[in-house]
Structure 1
Amino acid sequence: RRLSPTEAGQAYLNRVEAILDELEKAREDALGVGAQPTGTLRMTVSVAFGQRCLVPLLPRFAEAFPRLGLELLMTDAAIELVAERVDLAIRLGPTVSGDVVCAKLMDTRYRVCASPDYLERAPSLARPEDLRRHACLAFALPDYRSRWLFRAADGKASEVPVGGRMVISNALALRDAAIVGLGPALLADWLVDDDIAAGRLVDVFPEHRVTATSFETAAWLVYPSRAFLPNKVRVTIDFLRRHLGRA
């Protein structure tokens, strides 16, 4: 069961948080702007993005900020940042709720991928419409299950119905299923570009932009809106933009 504060309780919490922000700002002012961040940063990210993109950066993060602890909450659930005292989140969609700040970390792109073995034995995939004859691997979100959207180099957009027997709720497992030859899957570039370069997967329609939702997809930095942004959050945002940010 989920508990929520009363109106009076929420007002009290807002006032207390403002006071704590002022105390934190005063402490950092006393230490100096260039001081090393301290304390613990609570950060949340999806399981796949965290495993693929953040975990490899942890040694560099630890070296850059030796006095800063990190609590990395890897979950595909949409955590309420303020209620869970989360300092920073990375979200793979712009849909957020509550009093938060949302800033783009990096653009992303989706690709229809299949293994070389699958493409050798399956019916031809010369055009997006050919997916109708294939048992596609679906991600367990409503928009990803029934149709994929394509935009050709000339700007012409089309919608292709897709179907299959397997629906998977984890992007890493979906990628693995595609690699072992179970069918085509719609996967993000940050998840599969290394596999494509190594020959484990093939980008079936490289000349098309592909999506299940919007053609303009990105990873977003999300953090609670507050008058004072703690140094530990500010330096982490700069670190992530330096190592992951790309247009």
Structure 2
Amino acid sequence: MDTDALKTVLLVRDLGSIAGAARALNVDASNVSRTLAGLERDLGLRLFQRSTRKLSLTEEGDRYLSRVAPLVEEMDAAREEVTSKGGRPRGTVRLTASVAFVQEGLMPVLPDFQDRFPEITVELFPSDSNLDLLAEGLDLAVRLAAAPKGDLISTKLLQTRYRVVAAPDYLDRAGRPSQPEDLAGLNCLRFALPGFRHSWRFRRQGSGLFTVEVSGKTVISNALALREAARLGMGPALLADWLIAKDLEDGRLVDLFPDFDCAAADFDTAAWILYPSRAYLPQKVRVMIDFLKDEFRRPAV
């Protein structure tokens, strides 16, 4: 049996359409259709029911592909084991994360990864949209959120905290707010994401949680640009700790409320590594996951 054909048909199953599989494989949809038809002909059964609007697995197709998928993954694992040069991981790892996290989180550690694993090529896809891993042919994603839901496997990379910060020259001009409620009258810098745009949340040990409605004339959809606006003294901003750690250390930004926990929608947020739910995880992907977890577990110096 042609394993490449099986992989193509499994991709059709996972993405729910011939067109989606064709985009992921960067081939014409007609090629995928021929592969599917050829496999059905060889098996003597119909794997999918087709209509003008919908593609759905038949009962026989569901049983067959569910049995075959682990075998295909095991064959890939066996091939990787015997072809890896000296047992060293090799190949290409395709990884996506937000533009800010790629620049501030991944780029500083990438040289060390390439030194340790010279036979692995890393393809980075910075995007502030949540790309579909299967549809885009991606191995990993780093997502900044509360505990993720869905079919992807997740592992926590680092816990994140948010701080309200401003530049010293802004505070010289406007004065430093003494409490979070003072933000309501200021020209705040707002992140163009749900939960960040209109209200910020605060809590303090021994007191309850409360929300401050914020407003401001500058709304930005990119965290790096939002940080730069804060650096330029344009107003207070709510930013993640990993993005502003150096600015706080160097005095370019000031933490306005160090005694408070700050958040937009959720206090319990983190950076998560996500990858497709499957039994076989290639060695090249495993070493990338382990490397990132080790790097972000290491205390800053």
TM-score (norm 1): 0.91
Secondary structure, counterpart of 2:145 in structure 1: coil
Q: C-alpha displacement at 1:7, in angstroms?
A: 2.2
Residue 104 of structure 2: aligned partner: 52
* Residue identity matched to 2:154: C
Q: Please say if 1:212 is aligned against 2:268.
A: no
Verify: 1:196 aligned to 2:245, yes or no. Answer: no
1:136 aligns with 2:185: no
Moved more, 150-159 or 210-219: 150-159
AA aligned to 1:152 is: R
- Give 1:84 deviation, angstroms: 1.3
Is the contact between residue 165 and residue 239 of structure 2 (CA under 8 Å) also seen in structure 1? yes
Instruction: Report what 1:7 is aligned to.
Output: 56
Does residue 24 (structure 1) correspond to residue 76 (structure 2)? The answer is yes
Classify 1:148/1:70 alpha carbon distance in 2 versus 1 (closer, same or farther; 3 Å). same
Amino acid at match of 2:112: R
Give SS of 2:134's match. Answer: coil
AA of the residue aligned to 1:148: W
Change (3 A) 1:13 1:133: farther
Change beyond 3 A, Cα 1:159–1:64? same
Q: CA deviation digits over 1:2-32, x for unaligned, max 9?
A: 9546224996987776454222211244368
Alignment match, 1:122: 174
Is residue 203–residue 210 contact of structure 2 (8 Å, CA) maintained in 1? Answer: yes
Q: Matches of 1:106 and 1:217 in 2, distance apart?
A: 9
**Alignment TM-score, normalising by the size of structure 2:** 0.75
For structure 1, list consecutive stretches of 5 or more residues without a partner in the other structure.
none
SS at match of 1:7: strand
C-alpha distance in 2 between matches for 1:86 and 1:203: 37
In 1, Cα distance between equivalents of 2:232 and 2:241: 18
Instruction: Tell me the SS of whatever aligns to 2:247.
Output: helix
Question: 2:136 corresponds to which residue?
Answer: 84
Change (3 A) 1:95 1:16: farther
Give the match's secondary structure for 1:83: helix
How many correspondences in the alignment?
Answer: 246
CA separation of 1:155 and 1:228: change in aligned 2, threshold 3 A: farther
Distance 2:78 2:95 in 1: 23
Aligned counterparts of 1:216 and 1:96: Cα–Cα separation in 2? 12
| More helix per residue | 2
1:64 aligns with 2:112: no
Considering only CA atoms, is the larger Rg found in Structure 1 or Structure 2?
A: 2
Structure 2 letter corresponding to 1:228: Y
- Mapped pair 1:43 → 2:95: yes
Q: Residues 165 and 7 of structure 1: is their aligned pair in 2 closer, same or farther, counting only changes over 3 Å?
A: same
Contact 2:147 2:269 (C-alpha < 8 Å) held by counterparts = no
Please give the residue correspondences for 1:139-218 in structure 2 after superposition, counting only pairs within 5 Å. 139-218=191-270
2:176–2:256: 8 Å Cα contact kept in structure 1? no
Specify the code of the residue in structure 2 equivalent to 1:22: E
Contact 2:146 2:268 in 1 (8 A): no
The residue type paired with residue 42 of structure 1 is R
Contact 1:123 1:133 in 2 (8 A): no
Change (3 A) 1:78 1:228: same
Task: State the SS of the aligned residue for 1:82.
Answer: helix
Q: State the Cα RMSD in Å.
A: 2.5
Higher relative contact order (CA 8 A, sep 6+): 1
Instruction: Give the conservation status (yes or no) of the 8 Å contact 1:105–1:246.
Output: no
Q: Percent identity?
A: 49
Q: Which residue identity lines up with residue 89 of structure 2 in the other structure?
A: P
